[in-house]
């Protein structure tokens, strides 16, 4: 399994979370554009189809924002636990990509701790 430095891992988490947020915003613009330029003021099958499309985009917006928030809060939670309690150095350990929880071992003093368990 690939191992990378914590700072790099944290940067990746933030990058992915903001990609989710950007997608969420783009869907929001799409939603607003459909309401503005197509509208829902006419009757018939086209109006129902427009409402179905808007419903789908609305669900996507909620899901994309949820993903952004989960990834962002995970990254921030891990960053707040990344300081070695023994020597005080920040983020001096490697992270296995995809592994959870994160088993941290300080590169400076060899102190070990676990990030991501419910032990706050």
Question: Considering the rule CB under 5 A, would residue 108 count as an interface residue with Zn ion?
Answer: yes
H helix or E strand, kind and range, residue 112: strand 112-115
Of 80, 86, 112, 117, the one binding Zn ion by CB under 5 A = 86
Of 75, 95, 106, 115, the one binding Zn ion by CB under 5 A = 106
Question: Considering the rule CB under 5 A, would residue 112 count as an interface residue with Zn ion?
Answer: no
Size of the site for Zn ion (CB under 5 A): 7
Give the integer Cα–Cα distance in Å for 50 and 40. 7
Question: Considering the rule CB under 5 A, would residue 90 count as an interface residue with Zn ion?
Answer: no
Q: Give whole-number Cα distances, 43 to 30, 34, 36, 48, 50, in Å.
A: 22, 16, 16, 8, 11
Give the integer Cα–Cα distance in Å for 58 and 74. 24
Question: Considering the rule CB under 5 A, would residue 32 count as an interface residue with Zn ion?
Answer: no
Residues found near Zn ion in the complex (CB under 5 A): 84, 86-87, 106, 108-109, 111
């Amino acid at each position: 399994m690939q191992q990378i430095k914590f700072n790099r891992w944290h940067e990746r988490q933030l990058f992915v979370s903001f990609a989710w947020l950007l997608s969420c915003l783009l869907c929001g613009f799409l939603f607003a554009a459909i309401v503005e330029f197509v509208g829902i003021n006419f009757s018939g099958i086209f109006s129902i189809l427009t409402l179905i499309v808007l419903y789908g985009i609305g669900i996507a917006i909620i899901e994309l924002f949820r993903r952004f928030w989960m990834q962002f809060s995970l990254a921030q939670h891990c960053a707040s636990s990344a300081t070695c309690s023994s020597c005080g150095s920040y983020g001096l350990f490697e992270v296995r990509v995809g592994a959870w929880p994160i088993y941290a071992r300080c590169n400076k003093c060899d102190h070990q701790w676990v990030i991501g368990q419910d032990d706050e």
